[in-house]
Structure formats: structure tokens, C-alpha cells
A = this chain, B = another copy of it.
């Protein structure tokens, strides 16, 4: 019961869902959430009243504490291209310097889990992508601060394992969507839903045939929960987690126009270095997490996400970061 857990980026989209799962555990003493509300929203945690939870507003790369943690889950990072492309240095700092800082806050024998990304595969030349695929990332391109900082953080953690023996769990997440995505997130599903519910014009870049593996957040967090703490897994990763049904962007847009009367598609010029395809090879995942599957169909997942976006619009929910307040230390 004296276990201490830290989650960086816990006010974010995926982070707040992870926190929801963590507070169901009764085997820990305290859960410290470190978030600077850059892309995370304090409102994502407004429903959490567990007295064991402490929210600290801080940059993960400079966060300071004397406490040492048995489990650290490092999620702090923007994940949407417009956000990380605006602040590339900050993106590198959150991922890589964040990880360097957190490693020093592990108890001896403690475990650090890290959310890496399918972006380490870049614009892949093989499909689906197994973990052994070394990727096709332009390390000087406009998406590189995210892709390369995730790659370099994987390197840092594996090299710390090799030289210092730290315990790791590294996942490579494919596209995730669902409730608590920022309406101004800038990626396809949230863009389309926000657009459908406001001016009605869904912007599809290029021919819309670029495909993604859309993972509904509940499915993905099921896998993360099992891999990070619930199952007795010793495999350190990297482990692909995602939905392996590949769906073109245009199909998602069309489906949303069917759900939201009056909305329509607008074709725009393609975005530079937008990957043409992305699909996880889940062979390893199915060995490590037997029985796990991404079961929610895109139709079902998008309908649920649409409902959440509607509720947000109806309630006039705040879409930008709240006024900074230091809540705990």
C-alpha cells in the first residue's frame, strides 16, 4: 500500500483515461499527475476526487521532487502535428528531457512506461508495420521534432536499461480518438467532428485516401492498463498497440456527414509528409496480451465521440487550457 505512482501528461486525452483506470486500483498510496496544461486540460480531471491523487502543474522536464516512484508512466507530449510543429523544441524537451528527468525519480527496481508512437515508422514502406521495422522518417522534415524525439526517447530508455538495468514498458500507439480529444486538437476525427458541429464543412486534405488505423480510446486504454500494470508481463517493448483495421480518411469524413445533417466535405491541398498509410502488425501484441482486440468499430466509436463533442458544445465547455494554478507539490 505504500506504492507511489507518477503519470506525466495525466491531464491529456489518453492520460486522463489512464488516470481513470489507475484510481480503480487499491494497491497504491499516492498518484502524482504532472501536467503543464500545454495540450492537457484540467477539465479532463475535474471528476477525479480520489484523495490519493495529487495534480502538479509543472513541465515534466524540470519537475522537481524528493519523492521516488515505483511506477512512472510518461505520456507528456503533444501528439497532434499542428501542436508539435508550432513548438518543436518544447516537444523534444517534453519527451526526451522529460524521460531523463523521470528516470532519476524511480525507486530502485521501479518501472517506467513510455508512450511512443507509430510515427517512429514515418511514412512506412512496409505494411502492416512490425516492431522490427526500422521506419522511414525524414529526420529533417516538418514532423521530425515529434518522430525523432520519440525515437530518441526509446533509445534513451533502452540504453538506460542496458547500462543501468531499469525496468521498462514501451508502447507504440497508432491513431487514437475518442472523448476528451481537444476540439482544437487538429487531427482528422476531432477536426471533422468540430467542423460538422460548427460551420459544417469537413476539410479533407489531398484525395482522402491516406489511411489510418483508428483506435477507440477505451480499447487502447484496455491494452495499456494490461501492459503497464495489470497483466504479469515482463516484455519491455516496443509493443505496437492499435486497431489494425485500416480505414481511409475520406470514409471517416463521409460517415460523419451522414451522422450530422447539413455537414459536407471540402477537399483541400495535401499536407507535406502526411503518411500515406499506417497499420500495426499486432502479432507481438496478441502474444503479450492474449485475448486483447480493438473491438469498437469506427462507426460505433465515432458515434460515441460525436455524442461527447455535442455534450461539450451544449455545455459551452472550455476548449482552451484553464488558468494555471499550482494544485499540489
Contact = CB atoms under 8 A, between A and B. Distances in A.
A151 to B, nearest CB: 4
B144 A159 contact: yes
B159 A89 contact: yes
Interface string A244-271: 0000000000000000000000000000
A96 interface: yes
Interface string A129-164: 000001111111110110111011011101110110
A137 B134 contact: yes
B158 A140 contact: yes
A112 interface: no
A151 B148 contact: yes
B145 A155 contact: yes
29 contacts: A85-B159, A88-B156, A88-B162, A89-B100, A89-B156, A89-B159, A92-B100, A92-B156, A96-B152, A97-B97, A120-B139, A122-B134, A134-B136, A134-B137, A134-B139, A135-B137, A137-B151, A139-B151, A139-B155, A140-B170, A141-B158, A144-B154, A144-B155, A144-B159, A145-B159, A147-B155, A148-B152, A149-B152, A149-B155
A10 interface: no
Contacts of A87: 163
A238 interface: yes
A100 B142 CA distance: 18
> What band does the interface of chain A fall in when counting residues whose beta carbon is under 8 Å from B?
35 or more
Contacts of A141: 158
A81 to B, nearest CB: 12
A158 B144 contact: yes
Contacts of A156: 88-89, 92, 145
Contacts of A170: 140
Contacts of A142: 159, 162
Contacts of A162: 88, 142
